[in-house]
Structure 1
């Protein structure tokens, strides 16, 4: 089935409960390499355990859960072998606990038709709420459905995000990856064989299994946690980036950081190939003075979306 517009804008999931444990929190931290660095212990050891903010991309279930169209409307689908993860953004409204029971729901918030043969851009929003309905976190997920353009939807061009600052990075962090890191990361719930099976990877044009894009995304958050905010996860309000190329397990990831007050721009580069795998990264921080105070949503951020 193709994309049906505007019916796709009605698509949403049921609100459902989910739980995660300290074991889940520690597994995620280990899978992005937190156990390898000095200062990583608070994310991998139960006393005083903190949750890495980007763990929200895996703890609530699939980043692309099944969605249902509204009553009497047509359900859309994609040519999934041609779907790629384009961008990811997370927003954290209050400190995340190392174990919790929460609620999640997902809806489609926008669709752009690039035209026949040019694909489509589909944006969904997933919200985490507590039992009383208060926001805990949100994820804005952008996919590029390369095989699904030409369905008659809006063609407005999306605003191009600015490149990284022209000056040299303030901080560059080198992170060697393990050859088995994708095998470990997939235990968080993404069992796509592209990240494990060499034959599957070669069938789609890669020389071998590739790292999960969200693993690389998590490693950029790890760099900011350990080199900008002193390991204080409550400082991070939002973290977003655009995926530009795959990282291969065993390669070295270099994360370049530009720090401007409570905003951090970043990019990530596969060192051995000198290829940028993440661009247009930006993290919004809460002021250091607020780290021991109740978490407040920054002004203008109540309705999360791509900026």
Structure 2
């Protein structure tokens, strides 16, 4: 079924309710590889209920399924994540009941055979007082759904990486079972677990979730510039450019200019850049 531009842009949802507890908070942290060293107390704080901290990028899973992507008519088997942006309004609690309001802000037609880009915005609020916790802006690339006659240009501008050598580089290894752990936080797409399905859609084996790689880059910023204090992160934006296979090491290159951290991530063993145009804004 072809995309109907007016229909997609009319799709909204309000006050979708979700709840999570310390178990989900710890599971997310384990899913992005925190706690691998049981003697590292800075990481233990994210996987142990005594003084539990939350990673800002957990915002991408606490309202998993919010919005109405399923009503757009796209071929979901041919979808990949394009960009992810996160703005924090206040630190995420380690447990909460939340409300999610979602809408589409763009639906771009790249042409027949070239795909479509759908950009959605979700604001997450704390149910107990209605205060906003964060705003998520996500773009998905629907590879099989171009040619519907919508606008071809739009979307937020990409962040430019500084034209100098990186100030720092942080290597983060992933485990062979990383995707199997991460998927328990919400994204059960078989692309990340089933070898036969992965081959059917064009990958040699299951790939790591893009949002897991997103969490890894947040870990790198926290480690490099925040002394693992998640309240220092005000926003965290990326563009996905290539998949990571579980078991690979992700090398995050970082540049700091005042309160802005720019970053890219690559898998050196394959000479593959997996995250481009990364930008984090730190609290002053």
TM-score by length of 1: 0.86
In 2: Cα distance, 1:182 partner to 1:76 partner: 27
Identify unmatched segments of 5+ residues in structure 1.
Answer: 69-74, 288-307
What residue number does 2:167 align with? 170
Q: Which residue of 1 aligns with 2:186?
A: 189
Cα 1:98–1:76, aligned 2, differ >3 Å: closer, same or farther?
Answer: closer
Q: Does 2:68 match 1:66?
A: yes
Per-residue deviation, 1:116: 2.2
Q: CA RMSD in A?
A: 1.7
Mapped to 2, the partners of 1:269 and 1:204 lie a distance apart of 23
Contact preservation (8 Å) 1:269, 1:278: yes
Q: For 1:110 and 1:174, locate their aligned partners in 2 and report how far apart those are by CA, in whole Å.
A: 35
Q: Is the CA contact 1:251–1:271 (under 8 Å) kept in the aligned structure 2?
A: no
Deviation >4 Å, runs of 4+: 157-160
Q: 1:26 to 1:200 in 2, by over 3 A?
A: same
CA–CA separation in structure 1 for the residues paired with 2:248 and 2:91: 33
1:43 matched residue in structure 2: 46
Given the alignment, which residue of 259, 270, 273 partners 1:273? 270
Contact 2:11 2:68 in 1 (8 A): no
The question of whether the paired residues in 2 share the 8 Å contact of 1:29 and 1:43 is answered with: yes
Question: Would you say the 8 A contact 1:2–1:76 is kept in 2?
Answer: no
Deviations 1:16-42 (A, max 9, x none): 221110111111111111112532111
Q: Is 2:231 the counterpart of 1:234?
A: yes
> For residue 301 of structure 1, what is the aligned residue in structure 2?
none
The 2-side partners of 1:108 and 1:167 are apart by 36
1:10 pairs with 2:24: no
Structure 2 residue corresponding to 1:56, chosen from 43, 51, 59: 59
Instruction: Give the C-alpha shift of residue 230 in structure 1.
Output: 0.6
Query: What displacement does 1:67 show?
Result: 5.4
Query: Which of 259, 264, 275 is matched with 1:262 structurally?
Result: 259
Q: How many residues are treated as equivalent by the alignment? A: 280
Quote how far apart the aligned CAs of 1:160 are.
5.4
Contact 1:12/1:67 (<8 A) preserved: no
Instruction: Write the distance in 2 (CA, Å) between the matches of 1:50 and 1:157.
Output: 37
Cα distance between partner residues in 2 of 1:286 and 1:51: 16
Tell me the CA shift for residue 84 of structure 1.
Answer: 1.3
* Inter-CA distance 26–6: structure 2 relative to 1 (3 Å threshold): same
Distance 2:133 2:141 in 1: 27
For residues 213-244 of structure 1, the C-alpha deviation after alignment (integer angstroms, 9 at most, x for no partner) is 10000000011112211111111111010010
Per-residue deviation at 1:162?
Answer: 4.4
